[in-house]
Amino acid sequence: MVAGYFQGTYAESELAFDLVALCRRAGARFIEARAERIDPAERTVDTDGARISFDALSIDVGSDPVGTDTPGVAEHAYSVRPMTRAIELKRAVMTLEASSSICIVGGGAAGIEIALAIHRMTSNVFRGADITVLERDTTILAEYGNSVRQRATHTLRKLGIRLRTKALVTRVSHNEILLGSGEKLRSDLTAWLTGPAAPELFARSNLPKNAAGFLLVDDTLRAVDGSPIWGAGDCVTLRDFPRTPKTGVYAVREAPVLVHNLRAALGGERPRTYIPQPHFLALLNTADGKALLHWRSLASHSRIAWWLKDFIDRAFMRKYQKLIRD
C-alpha cells in the first residue's frame, strides 16, 4: 500500500496499526529494541539495551535491500522500509523542483510501483520530474512473466520514465550516481529499492544459513540444525524449496503453520509441515487507477485489477485495526 500512500490514495493511518496495543491484547510483553545478536547455544538475544533469554525463538525480521553497503547509500539514498523511511521519502519528493532528477535503483515490483507513484505525485504539483529506473539485471521485473514486463515497460515509457538495465550503481552522492561503467548520472533524489538481502543480524549470529546468508529452515519452519528457532517471511530460505519468492504472500501463508509449531514445540505436540503454493497472485499499482495483474499465464492491466488489489489490501489491514478496537 506504500505506493498508494505516495499518490494520495491512502492516509498514513490506513497503513498502520497499534503494535503495542496488539501485543497487549495477545498477552505479550513488547520491547522496543534492536536485536544485535542471537546465540542459539545460550538461547539468548542480545539487544542494544539488554540480553533476553528464550525457550523458543521466532524470527520474522524481513530483509535488507541488496547493496546497502555501496558507498554513499546509507548517507544519501532513501528507502521505503520501515514505514518511517517511506514517510521521509515522500516528504523529500515534495520538496523537489520541476527540473529535479530522480533515480530509482531497483527494477523489481517495489521500484516500478514507487517510480510510477512518484511520477503521479510530481505531476500533481508540476509537470513531472525526470525519473530514471536503474536495474543491474538484464530486465526489470525478472520474477514476472514476459507479458507483465512488456506491459510495465510500455506504461513507464509512455509516461517518460527512463529504464536502464545492466546498470550497476557503485556510488551515490547527494546529487549524483556513479555506474560501474564509469558513467555519472545526475540524481537530486535517489531511492534504493533493490531486491532482498539477508539481515545483518544473521551475519553476527551463529545460525544455520544458506549461501546468501538467510536463515535456513526445514518444512516445519524450524532451523535446520534443530535449534529451538523458527522463522518466516523474507528472512528465511526453505531448505526443500529454496527458490520460493520472498514476497508477503508466502509470509502470510506461513503464519498459521508457524504459530502451530511454536505451540507444539512447547507442548510436545506434532508439528505441521509447510509446502509453498506453486503460484501466487501478483498485483502492481500503476498509479493511474489501474493495476497490473499476474496469475500463472494470465496478465492484464485494468481498473478491475486495481479494485481487487485495493480490496485485498484494505481488508488485510482492517483485520488488525479491528482486532485492537474490539
172 within some domain: yes
Q: CA 118, CA 104: separation in Å to the nearest integer?
A: 10
Q: Tell me: the pLDDT tens digits for 198-254?
A: 999 999 999 999 999 999 999 999 999 999 999 999 999 999 999 999 988 999 999
Last residue of a domain, one of 196, 224, 247: 196
Q: Tell me: the pLDDT tens digits for 176-214?
A: 999 999 999 999 999 999 999 999 999 999 999 999 999
Residues 101 and 212 in one domain: no
Give, in order, the Cα–Cα distances in Å from 214 to each of 32, 37, 173, 223, 302: 23, 14, 30, 11, 36
Output the pLDDT for position 123. Answer: 85
Residues 101 and 167 in one domain: yes
285 within some domain: no
User: Rounded to the nearest 10 degrees, what angle do helices 146-158 and 109-125 cross at?
Assistant: 20
Q: Tell me: the pLDDT tens digits for 255-285?
A: 999 999 999 999 989 999 999 999 899 999 9
- Residue environment code for 112-135, b if the CB has 16+ CB neighbours within 10 A, otherwise e: bbbbbbbbbbbeeeeebbbbbbbb
Last residue of a domain, one of 179, 196, 213: 196
192 backbone dihedrals φ, ψ, rounded to 5° = -100, 100
DSSP conformational letter for 282: E
Output the pLDDT for position 98. Answer: 80
88 within some domain: yes
User: If you write DSSP's letter for every residue of 167-198 in order, what string do you get?
Assistant: --EEEE-SSEEEETTS-EEE-SEEEE---EE-
Beta bridge partners of 51: 46
Average pLDDT, the chain: 94
Q: How many domains does the chain have?
A: 2
The arithmetic mean of pLDDT across residues 122-134, rounded, is: 83
Residue 125 has pLDDT above 80, yes or no: no
Residue found under cell 519468492: 245
Residues 83 and 180 in one domain: yes
Residues 187 and 202 in one domain: no
Output the pLDDT for position 128. Answer: 65
Amino acid type, 178: L
Cell digits for 161? 520514465
Output the pLDDT for position 101. Answer: 94
Residues 69 and 169 in one domain: yes
Q: Tell me: the pLDDT tens digits for 146-162?
A: 999 999 999 999 999 99
Residue 126 has pLDDT above 80, yes or no: no
Residues 214 and 225 in one domain: yes
Q: Percent of the chain, pLDDT > 70?
A: 99
Give the CATH number of the domain where residue 117 resides.
Answer: 3.50.50.60
Domain hosting residue 222, numbered range: 31-63+198-267
Output the pLDDT for position 127. Answer: 64
Last residue of a domain, one of 178, 196, 214: 196
Residues 131 and 165 in one domain: yes
78 within some domain: yes
pLDDT level of residue 82 (50, 70, 90 thresholds): confident
Q: Tell me: the pLDDT tens digits for 34-72?
A: 999 999 999 999 998 899 999 999 999 999 999 999 999
169 within some domain: yes
DSSP conformational letter for 13: G
Residues 50 and 115 in one domain: no
Output the pLDDT for position 66. Answer: 95
Entry pTM: 0.92
296 within some domain: no
Residues 59 and 155 in one domain: no
Q: CA 136, CA 152: separation in Å to the nearest integer?
A: 17
Residue 137 has pLDDT above 70, yes or no: yes
51 within some domain: yes
71 within some domain: yes
Residues 137 and 79 in one domain: yes
Residues 79 and 180 in one domain: yes
Residues 97 and 165 in one domain: yes
